[in-house]
Amino acid sequence: MKGRLNKKVPLYTTIFPVTFWLILLVAIPLIYVLVLSFLTRLPNGRVDFVFTMANYKKLINPDYFHIYGISLFVSAVTTAICIVLSYPFAWFIAQGSERKKTLMMLLVIIPFWTNSLIRLYGWKTILGNEGVLNKVLLTLHLINEPIQMLYSLPAVILGMVYTLLPFMILPIYASVEKLDKTLLEAANDLGAKSIQSFLQISLPLTSPGIFAGSIMVFIPTLGYFFVSDLLGGGNTMMVGNLIKNQFYTAQNWPLGAALSIVLIIMTLLLVRIYTLMGGKLDDLGVAK
């Protein structure tokens, strides 16, 4: 008996802290959000512990569908642009010498050591009616009057792409790096055209990087309220802004909780699709 207990001591000491912490600060808060989504809001904004379905009934509303629709659209476009930008770029980097590779990856990462908000603020300066870009275009006589760029959906998408691009570059780069180049050479030797060998060998072998990158870009985009705050000018409401408003302006926590539950379900579905396609969950964490 004593021996068995003794054997379990290391198990407890290693596992207990994490289990305790995660149950207390991950499981309980999320369950609480679920509970909250079924509670009633009192007129003064406080929460009453009375069960109701009203919050979910409220979600069946074209406005909210529209907001979820826009958010999914922004996420999808952001992800697509990130893939198109990152994929050739990752290949280009991976082909360089060791020294070049390190240098290039460093150049990719340095901007992300500056605060993300400050960099978005830089875009504001660039995109304004009298901003840097319009000034340049006007001076070059390419346009006659400033293009309205700031505070629009494209501006929000640009901000999202900018903020999340490294989360696409890193996993794709990792998968290209892992790729066995001799396979490609062998295919070439066997007479395969480069497009053929790309579609049949390179692309399938690097797709795990694309999938992992897509998840790491798509999901955060749904929640980054500060990007649409800064570059959308309050015109573009995304799920993130909507949830934040329920907690901070409208003071309707139960509705905010219900909106969050829908977002959680959407996220879990996406992750499920990802794992069904053979993606590994660990890939999502380490590249960050």
Under the binding rule (CB under 8 A), the answer on residue 186 touching another protein is no
Stretch that binds another protein, among 137-145, 178-186, 202-210, 241-249 (CB under 8 A): 241-249
Q: Contact 262/246 with Cβ under 8 angstroms?
A: no
| Closest to another protein by CB, 66 or 180 | 66
Q: Give the chain's radius of gyration (CA, Å).
A: 24
Angle at 86 between CA 83 and CA 90, to 5 degrees: 135
Between residue 6 and residue 45, which ones bind another protein under the rule CB under 8 A?
A: 10-11, 13-15, 17-19, 21-23, 25-30, 32-33, 36, 43-45
Under the binding rule (CB under 8 A), the answer on residue 282 touching another protein is yes
Q: Contact 177/171 with Cβ under 8 angstroms?
A: no
Between residue 202 and residue 221, which ones bind another protein under the rule CB under 8 A?
A: 215, 219-220
x/- mask, another protein, residues 39-78, rule CB under 8 A, reads: ----xxxx----------------x--xx-----------
Q: Shortest distance, CB of residue 134 to another protein, whole angstroms?
A: 10
| Residue 232 neighbours by CB distance under 10 Å | 22
Q: Shortest distance, CB of residue 1 to another protein, whole angstroms?
A: 19
Stretch that binds another protein, among 107-115, 137-145, 179-187, 205-213 (CB under 8 A): 107-115
| Closest to another protein by CB, 2 or 113 | 113
Tokens for 209, please give them: 């990087």
| Closest to another protein by CB, 77 or 126 | 126
| Closest to another protein by CB, 210 or 243 | 243
Beta bridge partners of 41: 47
Q: Contact 41/252 with Cβ under 8 angstroms?
A: yes
d(CA 161, CA 140): 27
Between residue 114 and residue 133, which ones bind another protein under the rule CB under 8 A?
A: 114-123, 125-126, 128-132
d(CA 216, CA 82): 11
Burial label for 256, CB within 10 Å (0-12, 13-18, 19+), is buried
